[in-house]
Structure 1
Amino acid sequence: MVKLVEKSPVEGLLPMEINGLSLTELVPGAITSVMPYAGQKTAASEALKALVGAAMPGPNRSTGREGARVVWTGAGQAMVIGAALDPSLAQHAAMTDQSDAWTVFRLEGQGVEDVLARLTPLDLNPGVFKRGHAARSLLGHMNAIFVKTANDAFDILVFRSMARTAVHEFDVAMKAVAARKALV
């Protein structure tokens, strides 16, 4: 009988630090997609608040904090990252376990927006994309979810199958920004 061994999709590649910027993998435990049923958004939000301490966020926002963050991921849907959900929420919302589908990266350090500007069309200027903001967009050619968690930090989710490619994209962008700064 084959024995399966759990491995990180980026094993041996992270952590990475280049010129004061760091890229790490976060392992939040549970990631659950939550989609309130018609007419149940308020009830689902209140139930989430009671269960994990964070309500359903508005568009392009996140609520909560590390360990129990709820991130807007589209019209009528959010992802709960880091907290396992009680099955009682199913009376108000459809829930799908996404824990094995996503890899969560944290990119942090001064100038993080310069790196991400090379990878996504989002305007991540600190005056526009503030702490608690969230958006779905592209990271290179991959679908991604961006969450600003601090003034100089983003959590970025990509599909697990694209994790190694994402690390490569981050590496190239981080080195390019470091090289540009070295010329100044």
Structure 2
Amino acid sequence: MPEPLVARSPLRAHVAPPASPAGEPGVVLREIPDLTLASVAALKGREAELTQAVSSAYGVDLPDGPKRVSSGAVSFVGVGPGKWLAASTVGTDFSGLPAAVADQSDGRAVFRLSGPKARETLATLVQIDLHPRAFQRGDAAVTHAASIAVTLWQVGDEPTYEIVMFRTYAATLWRWLVEAGRSRGIDARLGG
């Protein structure tokens, strides 16, 4: 009998974590495993119905534009007109929404970048303004980091960022982030 399929990190076979810095790290990089991710697109003429369904089911109003909203374990990130990336830390099934919903959980990887030098480190890889007057908690962007398509958002004022990319590019982006953070004292370890 064949063994059941088990989701595994796209990084474990490809990335050796660097040594932790001496003293407090300026940047902390972690993989966020086991997130449920789904793309959600409003159906033509049913936008109001979707907005009401999300509000009733999850207690949030869908963001209008590149923002992240959350309630409990569920978040919605605006990624385009009438489109969102839904995320959950508790295995939520988003397929009941009155929308076009596609599970992205096994096709994407998610990193969390935090620490006093996180903004500076990320700014070396993206072409958007991350200064606090331009990009704050709850702001999101669909952009490129070192030529890799990413969706990112700021979850904390420290600042803390979460970065989503196609799973096949995870090891490459990890290496770029480690290299960008090396002079800033990066602590990069796999796992949550």
> Structures share a fold, TM > 0.5?
yes
Give the TM-score taking structure 1 as reference length: 0.87
Identity of aligned residues (%): 27
How many angstroms apart in 2 are the aligned matches of 1:9 and 1:143?
Answer: 16
Contact 1:54–1:68 under 8 Å retained in 2 = no
Check 1:88–1:6 CA distance in 2 against 1; reply closer, same or farther (3 A cut). closer
1:10 and 2:11 correspond: yes
Where does residue 28 of structure 2 map in the other structure?
A: 22
One of 168, 171, 175 as aligned partner of 2:178: 171
Partner Cα distance (1:153, 1:130) in 2: 10
Gaps of 5+ in 1: 180-184
Find the aligned partners of 1:105 and 1:171 in 2 and give their Cα distance.
12
* Structure showing greater relative contact order (alpha-carbon pairs closer than 8 Å, 6 or more residues apart): 2
- 2:26–2:118: 8 Å Cα contact kept in structure 1? no
Match of 1:182 in 2: none
Question: 1:114: which partner in 2?
Answer: 120
TM-score by length of 2: 0.83
Question: How far did residue 162 of structure 1 move?
Answer: 0.5
Letter of the structure 2 residue corresponding to residue 131 of structure 1: R
Number of aligned residues: 177
Moved more, 6-15 or 140-149: 6-15
Is 2:96 aligned against 1:88?
Answer: yes
State the distance in 1 between where 2:149 and 2:94 align. 28
Q: What is the 5 A alignment of 1:8-157?
A: 8-11=9-12, 13=15, 18=21, 19-65=25-71, 67-82=73-88, 84-89=92-97, 92-151=98-157, 152-157=159-164
Shift of 1:141: 1.1
Aligned counterparts of 2:112 and 2:72: Cα–Cα separation in 1: 12
